[in-house]
Structure 1
């Protein structure tokens, strides 16, 4: 299979799940034969990072693959890794590889006439839907009303992003955070899962994290995610030793080596993987294999466009230790307008569409509406 063309799309849109703030991403279309194209995504977020990612794709990786058999996706991935040797491990290079690799796998599955998961073997027919959200309402009562509404609407669990943009004090006041979780548990009952994602906006020291998570444990939270900057491994170790709640990390890793470093600590129970950052479908599967071999949970991070959601869903259904699938609960243009058939849950379960590729074919009109370059 030869590449007949390719095009990058830099998009910016108002995200309802981020309190209406604008977000950015880069989508990539790679054309093969017989009118088929594959789509990938690179989440670089900031304008300067997206510009750098686009340069690496257009001036580095696409010319590298122009005369190759792009049906041999593994060989293409290895070639990109070799090309990026001097870029440094991870970061923009991994994000750029992600878009190309994801598009190639989408195209390969379309050429085969199969859903992407069929190329790997489905382990799950469906996964429980998790409402992955930012806590941004002004009061605990308003936040609980909104979040519990998603559970009533069928979601089996929710992940609370603290320290986000909006009106809430969540992530900035530990007492408030504990009260929020307690009120939410009272509202949704004992069966709904509650995960807490401290995130980059929450600035806990170790003692504060230990005290806060121990108090949240009274509400049976399912896990605590990224309570510190990922470079502070010692803080994570100290917290893990002091709590019984599972610890989740990984959203801000870029390579298999990064996940192996966390695996070697023995403290992580749930690993977040984002195929638009960790060198695509190939990178995801390599990291997932290492994580599964240790009996740990693989959890896809799919918080951007429907292209990432599609790839993440197929990968999750092929991952032995995946336990749920995260969806943004509020309809937005990159989830509901970008594709004809948005990814959603049915009775709280998420299944992959039975169509070739990862199932996310962007609509031209929507691409042009939100395109910057």
Structure 2
């Protein structure tokens, strides 16, 4: 079996109501996709991370100009060999950012082909599934105006609760006063200690303000405090982890096992959050997981993007063991994005759905378990 074609698709859709997080306004949803075709007709799909601020064309260009020439005529089952060759090829200019996202997308597509070829879901190729369904947490609480939206965000929390969510991640990082007002309003509106809460500032603060916020949040039983400082400030992560009671999470902006090894060696994280669309795909996340477990760090992947990225993330979450095994394990959660996204669920035949038990079933179909709708791809391209 050989690779005969590597194609990229950049898709975009403007938002009727732009929304903001601590780093800026998102005016359109985008995706950078890759389709890899083998000579036996099998096609694998992958997606590069695109959070809304960076042009998706960068990852697509990296695939077309830097990676594609080294993929043609290769056996798509050689996932590890190909990954390390692509990483070495781009090491001098691509260890982080969009080039790593490009490698991630390619790797996801190769594993998709491998699963289809073997007639098995990717999670079985990774060693098997620890669970056949995953508990989702609602990601939302973005701003439509900026600050001063505590009441609206409290109503959003109530809506998520009514929809059956038992965990939610709240976007903070707009100012210390606004953050605390939002937290108080949401907790009072929920009035339910059984609902798990996480907070995410998207690295909005320096060490001093991040610590002030973390101390102010100590009264809330948070599952984690995500990206309190910029990803480059590893010492800041480690310092906050030592002085705060809330678990420190991060890693969506880190790449490859090399990058995560720095975080683990410097004891910077309680919860590692590699994103499969940027950390290096399935091949890299396997290495990251091994390092995390060797260092006693939990792993709960960050999830963002279209239904293709979601499908890939579900496969890895199914295959994640608990970092701290016990009779009643603390299982990883699925980040379930509820922000506005015109094409997220339009691209595949079976987008994620929450079952009546409040959990998302893991696909048992070969590969990623998806069939891509080319009509939708072309509509939004």
**TM-score of the pair, normalised by structure 1:** 0.90
1:180 to 168, 182, 195: 182
The match for 2:294 is 293
The match for 2:342 is 333
Confirm or deny that 1:89 pairs with 2:95: yes
1:63 to 69, 80, 84: 69
Shift, 1:32, TM fit: 1.7
* Mean CA deviation greater in 230-239 or 186-195: 230-239
Tell me how far apart the structure 2 counterparts of residues 48 and 207 of structure 1 sit (CA, whole Å): 28
- Quickly say closer, same or farther: Cα 1:251–1:331, change in 2 above 3 A: same
> Contact between 1:53 and 1:96, CA under 8 Å: does it hold in 2?
yes
Confirm or deny that 1:284 pairs with 2:285: yes
In the alignment of these two chains, the number of paired residues is 361
2:109 to 103, 112, 134: 103
Confirm or deny that 1:356 pairs with 2:366: yes
Q: Which runs of 4+ in 1 moved over 4 A?
A: 15-18, 44-49
Tell me how far apart the structure 2 counterparts of residues 218 and 249 of structure 1 sit (CA, whole Å): 21
- Quickly say closer, same or farther: Cα 1:18–1:123, change in 2 above 3 A: farther
Confirm or deny that 1:125 pairs with 2:125: no
The gaps in structure 1 that reach 5 residues or longer are 163-170
- 1:81-107 CA-to-partner distances (Å, cap 9, x unmatched) read 222233242223311111111100001
- Quickly say closer, same or farther: Cα 1:46–1:340, change in 2 above 3 A: closer
Shift, 1:328, TM fit: 1.1
Tell me how far apart the structure 1 counterparts of residues 87 and 245 of structure 2 sit (CA, whole Å): 39
- Quickly say closer, same or farther: Cα 1:315–1:335, change in 2 above 3 A: same
Equivalent runs, 1:1-373 vs 2, <5 Å: 1-14=1-14, 19=19, 21-44=27-50, 50-120=56-126, 121-137=128-144, 139-162=149-172, 171-188=173-190, 189-200=192-203, 202=204, 204-321=205-322, 322-330=331-339, 332-346=341-355, 347-371=357-381
Across the aligned residues of Structure 1 and Structure 2, the Cα RMSD in angstroms comes to: 2.1
Shift, 1:196, TM fit: 0.4
The match for 2:325 is none
**TM-score of the pair, normalised by structure 2:** 0.88
Tell me how far apart the structure 2 counterparts of residues 16 and 302 of structure 1 sit (CA, whole Å): 23
Give the number of the structure whose residues are more often helix, by fraction. 1
SS of residue matched to 2:369: coil
The gaps in structure 2 that reach 5 residues or longer are 20-25, 323-330
Tell me how far apart the structure 1 counterparts of residues 189 and 52 of structure 2 sit (CA, whole Å): 37
> Contact between 1:17 and 1:329, CA under 8 Å: does it hold in 2?
no
